[in-house]
Amino acid sequence: MAEKSLMALKAHSASGGISTESFGTSAWTFRYQTFIADRYVRPAWYDTQTFGGDNRGFGAWHDSFRTRADMTFYFDSRYSIQSMHFGKATGITKEYHCTLHSFNNCSYVKQAQESTDGIRIMDKRAYGSYRVARIEHDSAIPIRPHGAMWGLTPTPGITYTMDVLYWPNGFSVTGFHDGAPSHELWGGWVPGEYIPIMTHNRACDFGPGLAGFCKVNFNIKI
């Protein structure tokens, strides 16, 4: 579906269906977001400490997320990449204390926001007719979870790595990510609608996922 959408959007853009006047060329953006679908999550089942989630489903334009990384590729009329632009952002983490074994009677404790330093987006440059860019993502939770395990290890972070390979017929994206929280990748011409490329719900509980106990690999051609 994604491969057909990219080809169709190329044809639509070439026929004048999508305006790119503000860029002087065609532009394609990948948006990778991590988010917590639940309203609340508990890093340790035996503790009352609770983190507020994003309380949402998949979507490229939601205001609430844990982290966001954008990669925009600018093309000439022959769809050769001329330049790239990167953007990154983190959401606000809120801590609560809720009734043990449930999420009742939650009381707000504090909030914090992690810097974007743990999100590294790199242009690996071109070789031949190919071009590669990479996201290396290890963004820590700004509030340390309670529990013996987290007291002996660094504050856990949301981890993923994604390589983007471009050649004249399209993109491929490969990499891996933690099993929690949820991960989503969107793509689309600018301006225009984004199409879903990868939508992965969390594959394990929040604590084990952040600890790196369940990794998910992906390899997608667009």
| pLDDT tens per residue, range 11-64 | 433 333 333 343 446 899 999 999 999 999 988 888 999 999 999 999 999 999
Which tokens belong to 35?
């988010």
Please report the pLDDT score of residue 68 as a whole number. Answer: 97
User: Span 174-195, mean pLDDT?
Assistant: 91
Q: What is the pLDDT of residue 93?
A: 96
Q: Which token pair is 87?
A: 């953007």
C-alpha 216/C-alpha 199 separation (Å) is 12
Residue 206: per-residue pLDDT: 79
Number of H helices, E strands in the chain: 3, 14
Neighbour-count burial of 9, counting CB atoms closer than 10 A to its CB (0-12 exposed, 13-18 middle, 19+ buried): buried
Tally of residues, the chain: 222
Task: Give the C-alpha separation, 219 to 173, whole Å.
Answer: 6
Q: Are 173 and 71 in contact (CB under 8 A)?
A: no
Q: How far is residue 103's CA from residue 96's CA, in Å, rounded to a whole number?
A: 10
* 174 and 105 Cβ atoms separated by less than 8 Å: no
Rounded mean pLDDT, 68-82: 86
Q: How far apart are CA 71 and CA 51, in angstroms?
A: 29
Cα–Cα distance between 95 and 146 in angstroms, integer? 11
Please give the share of the chain, as a percent, with pLDDT higher than 90: 54
What's the rounded mean pLDDT across residues 174-185?
Answer: 94
Strand blocks (E) in the chain: 26-35, 40-41, 49-52, 67-75, 81-90, 92-97, 107-113, 119-127, 130-140, 157-167, 170-178, 182-189, 195-200, 215-221
Reported as half-sphere exposure (CB side, CA atoms, 13 A), residue 174 has a value of 5
The Cα–Cα gap between 192 and 218 comes to: 25
Query: Residue 10: is it exposed, middle or buried by C-beta count within 10 angstroms (0-12/13-18/19+)?
Result: middle
Kindly report, residue by residue over 115-160, the tens digit of the pLDDT.
Answer: 999 999 988 766 556 778 899 999 888 998 886 666 666 777 899 9
Per-domain boundaries in the chain: 2-35+70-87+115-221
